[in-house]
Amino acid sequence: MARAGAGGSVGRINGRFALLTIVCGILSAVLVYAAIARNGGAKQTVSAETTAATVIAAVDIPARTEITAEMVELRDVPVSGRAAMALSSIDDVVGKVTRYPVVLDEQLTPSKVVSVDGSENVDSLAFVVPDGKRAISISADQVLSAGGLVLPGDYVDIMGVLSGTKPDGSEVDNYVVKTILQNVQVLAVAQTIADAPAGGEATASDGQKGSSSESKPNPEATTLTILVSPEQAQTLFLAESNGTLRAVVRGYGDANVTELAPIYQNQLTPPVP
């Protein structure tokens, strides 16, 4: 009888142990499931917080090309791989022109595009002028480039047609053509239309898109703001005060600077026999 009682006690202990084991297993499974669910939600939250809508080039876009909606797309890009100041709306680029070539999958930033309708805000020009440089505006008689278009970010040479004194002492207008500066960067372009009623003061409006019947484009109103050294600024100011300036656009990537001899008026025509 004593052996039978001992066997019953052992059976009850084993049963309780088995029940406890099952309960612990269920509890462990619940805790693991809760941890997985919690971690999954955290991952989703982190993923949502570390991406941002970014304008991406859908094709290669050459420099000086007007951007269409088909050339770009909006993607969610991880913040860690997103360019500083990357644009986040298609409307920010469509209708603007590329300053530089943009390759497939490249992110677009304000520095890579420019508006050609004169709507760019240049009130903060002082913030983009490097230390030791100056921004000077000149009235170029005519802008020479493909299509007559100069964009902020382009590099140009500035030539001047100047009056001079011949060896015999006589003053001659448009006596000499000289390249004043080479490979200087354009910071801003302001093409205006002059509308000057008789007896009234001239008013200005944007002229990049054409003119109305009451106003005509005025090429002499083409103003370029360019980046120069203080010494170059003095040279330009003197040249503009003594002649007519003209800007010649350089090809993309062409930074070659060469010595150019001035050309005098009498070199354009053969000597009189």
Q: What is the pLDDT of residue 76?
A: 93
Q: What is the pLDDT of residue 53?
A: 94
Query: Tens digit of pLDDT for each residue in 212-271?
Result: 333 333 344 467 888 899 999 999 999 888 888 888 888 878 888 888 888 887 777 766
Share of residues in the chain with pLDDT > 90 (%) = 22
Query: Tens digit of pLDDT for each residue in 79-97?
Result: 989 998 999 999 999 998 8
57 CB burial (10 A radius; 0-12, 13-18, 19+): buried
Residues near 238 by beta carbon (within 8 Å), at least 6 away in sequence: none
Average pLDDT in the 149-168 region?
81
Q: What value does the CA radius of gyration of the chain take, rounded to a whole number of Å? A: 36
> Higher confidence at residue 152 or residue 7?
152
pTM exceeds cut of 0.75: no
SS3 203: strand
Query: Tens digit of pLDDT for each residue in 169-221?
Result: 777 777 888 999 999 988 877 643 222 233 333 333 333 333 333 333 334 44
Strands 72-78 and 51-57: antiparallel
Average pLDDT of the chain to the nearest whole number = 73
Q: Is residue 131 over pLDDT 70?
A: yes
Q: Is residue 140 over pLDDT 80?
A: no
Q: What residue type is assigned to position 138 of the chain?
A: I
Asked if residues 158 and 246 have their Cβ atoms less than 8 Å apart, the reply is: yes
List domains and CATH numbers for the chain: 51-114 (3.90.1210.10), 125-267 (no CATH)
